[in-house]
Chains A and B, each alone.
Chain A
Amino acid sequence: QKEVEQNSGPLSVPEGAIASLNCTYSDRGSQSFFWYRQYSGKSPELIMFIYSNGDKEDGRFTAQLNKASQYVSLLIRDSQPSDSATYLCAVGGGYSTLTFGKGTMLLVSP
């Protein structure tokens, strides 16, 4: 069974800082990786996906993948209080199913 591990946090950063969120996964054959953001009481929404080793940037967000180390990370530059949420790492499986980690809570203080 696939496992996805995340530090539950909370991770506290000041406004304007870089927030670094990390995730490890157990299935070496995994090919697709996703980061979702979930505000309290709301449903998850996709921030980024990454399939290849290296970095992928989208605005203030950068996803990093290292398949050899089975490690995925999400960097948020210039963190804003509106970024305060729980960030869910997910690993793709057959039929586009996802295995989620338990999430890391991020708190950005003004």
Chain B
Amino acid sequence: NAGVTQTPKFQVLKTGQSMTLQCAQDMNHNSMYWYRQDPGMGLRLIYYSASEGTTDKGEVPNGYNVSRLNKREFSLRLESAAPSQTSVYFCASSVDNEQFFGPGTRLTVL
């Protein structure tokens, strides 16, 4: 089992460019999450999906969109990247209150 996988691992964008961060899990979990982690800020929830076909906003959703493509995949899209979106992005899935995290995507917006 690969657990939670994320692509890409690193990305550099220019302001205004768009991109999609991909996340997949092979643990058959219903719930999936996207977080961002900034220095000194801890992890902050962007969006989550409690089950296939549903998505909800977290603490910091502005500037992002998500798609729960199927039970395995949950993508995060930046339509017009801004320097304030420079961060490390983690995807997670959960069962029985335990969240399993992917390796992260380090995104820099210039």
Contacts and interface: CB of A to CB of B under 8 A. Distances in A.
B74 interface: no
**Size class of the contact patch on chain A:** 20 to 34
Interface string A78-91: 00000000001010
Given A43-B104, A95-B48, A97-B33, A88 B98 contact: no
Interface in A20-61: 32, 34, 42-46, 49
Contacts of A49: 97-98
B31 interface: yes
Contacts of A43: 90, 101-104
Contacts, number: 52
Interface in B18-76: 31, 33, 35, 40-45, 48, 50, 56, 58-59
Given A43-B90, A49-B97, A98 B104 contact: no
A66 interface: no
Interface of B: 31, 33, 35, 40-45, 48, 50, 56, 58-59, 90, 94, 97-104
8 contacts: A43-B90, A43-B104, A44-B90, A44-B101, A49-B97, A96-B94, A99-B59, A100-B44
